[in-house]
Amino acid sequence: MVKDLTTDVLVIGAGPAGSMTAKWAAKSGARVVMIEKRQEIGSPVRCGEGMSKEWLKEVGVTPSSRWINVEVEGARIFSPSEKVLEINEKHAGNEVGYVVERDGFDKQLAIDAGNAGVDVMLKTAATGIVRENGRIVGVTAKAFGEPFTIRAAVTIGADGFESQVGRWAGLPTNLQLRDMDSCLQYRMTNVDCDVRYCDFYLGKVAPGGYVWVFPKGDGLANVGIGVQLSQIKSPAEARTYLDAWIAKHPAYAKGKKIDMVGGGVSICAPIKQTVTDGFMLVGDAARMIDPLTGGGIANGCIAGKICGEVAAKAVHAGDASKEFLQAYEKGWRVRLEEKLYRNWLAKEKLCSLSDETFDKVVDALEGVKLEKLTVHNILKAVHTKYPEVTREFEAFL
């Protein structure tokens, strides 16, 4: 029989956002319990495994060969007729910098959390929210199938894209079909890809999304696709698109599939509220994925640090009211919201472009040295060569 527990901070989910939140709450002096419904942290992997790197220092993570496969120089964007735009790593977005072993990375973050004093409970799933006088005071849970209750001064939902905890807490996390990409990825061996780049193929090859090739070295690569759910008949259609793309590319058609993963990512604008009395939401559960790239590891970790620190402050102040927890709401928005919103607008526009326009945009940018890769600078460059194309983008300017 599992005994009921009481702690300062309860984190639900041991993905990157959860482990990072738990670590920083513990480092800031709180007693922390983190529960994870799976028996192994980081596995099975559902990820392209690409991530930028400049944020790692900010959240206290030291890059390690234990989880880095390849360090890339940048990204290559392929237009529908396969004109190529190269972008250096610094400007290439949330998914470009390292290609990692995601299970190793997630385990490293959980190790860091454990070393900071966090109690980790595996095979333990939250099953419902406990409320008292309208405020959240913990969850009901099952450990190895046995029900029990965890009470906490602050409860944090870090339960990923399929989050139920956010919904139970009454936060506005619902998504429309147009706000989601269905993703499918093969890990392929015996492919010819350039380990210097993460590659992205745009246009009707992947309606509302893109095909990616992230190199893992030694002829191994993650070859995947994200397709906007509102543009396909069923999530399974992502496979049809990916298989068609692979068949057309001899460097990959000759490859062997050794692994396959599917899943969803949110591509919505930032949600309106991520805290309520006694409760905060972080990472994919809080829809913090970059809507343009689909990358969520960096944002989840950056917000996780802020969330953990605020949780510990709330514990020390004896005040976990919604008003007190606004420090987190404000903190993550100052750090991430403008870029999330800007990238959402850019994604909305890109989803509506014809293949012909995509080709013109990439063609106009080929060989142009942009100091900063902003939407404004891109449009200026495109305007020089194809003024008729930028008319479609006037709203942005």
Residue 215 interacts with ligand FAD (CB under 6 A): yes or no: no
Closest distance between ligand FAD and the C-beta of residue 78, in Å? 17
Please give the structure tokens belonging to residue 198.
């993460």
At what angle are helices 338-351 and 375-385 packed, to 10 degrees?
A: 30
Sole binder of ligand FAD in the list 183, 267, 271, 320 (CB under 6 A): 183
Q: Which of residues 98-127 bind ligand FAD (CB under 6 A)?
A: 125-126
| 250 prior amide bond cis, ω within 30 | no
Closest distance between ligand FAD and the C-beta of residue 82, in Å? 22
Number of residues that bind ligand FAD (CB under 6 A): 40
Closest CA to 51 of 198, 208, 181: 198
Sole binder of ligand FAD in the list 7, 30, 48, 246 (CB under 6 A): 48
Piece of 231-239, 295-303, 356-364, 375-383 that binds ligand FAD (CB under 6 A): 295-303
Residue 142 interacts with ligand FAD (CB under 6 A): yes or no: no
Closest distance between ligand FAD and the C-beta of residue 379, in Å? 26
Residue 15 interacts with ligand FAD (CB under 6 A): yes or no: yes
Half-sphere exposure of 306 (CA within 13 A, CB side): 23
Sole binder of ligand FAD in the list 10, 14, 206, 302 (CB under 6 A): 14
Q: For ligand FAD, what does the binding mask look like between residues 242 and 271, x meaning CB under 6 A? A: -------------------x-x-x------
Q: For ligand FAD, what does the binding mask look like between residues 334 and 373, x meaning CB under 6 A? A: ----------------------------------------
Sole binder of ligand FAD in the list 8, 89, 95, 309 (CB under 6 A): 95
Q: Given the complex with ligand FAD, which of 64 and 384 has the nearer CB atom?
A: 64
Q: Given the complex with ligand FAD, which of 33 and 350 has the nearer CB atom?
A: 33
Sole binder of ligand FAD in the list 22, 30, 33, 49 (CB under 6 A): 49
Residue 291 interacts with ligand FAD (CB under 6 A): yes or no: no
Closest distance between ligand FAD and the C-beta of residue 253, in Å? 21
Q: Give the Cβ contact number of residue 140 at 10 Å.
A: 15
Closest CA to 58 of 329, 334, 335: 335
Residue 295 interacts with ligand FAD (CB under 6 A): yes or no: yes
Closest distance between ligand FAD and the C-beta of residue 214, in Å? 6
Residue 25 interacts with ligand FAD (CB under 6 A): yes or no: no
Residue 166 interacts with ligand FAD (CB under 6 A): yes or no: no
Q: Give the Cβ contact number of residue 175 at 10 Å.
A: 15
Please give the structure tokens belonging to residue 142.
């099952």
Residue 287 interacts with ligand FAD (CB under 6 A): yes or no: no
Sole binder of ligand FAD in the list 284, 309, 329, 359 (CB under 6 A): 284
Residues that bind ligand FAD (CB under 6 A): 12-18, 35-38, 46-51, 94-95, 125-126, 158-161, 183, 185, 224, 261, 263, 265, 283-285, 289, 294-297, 300
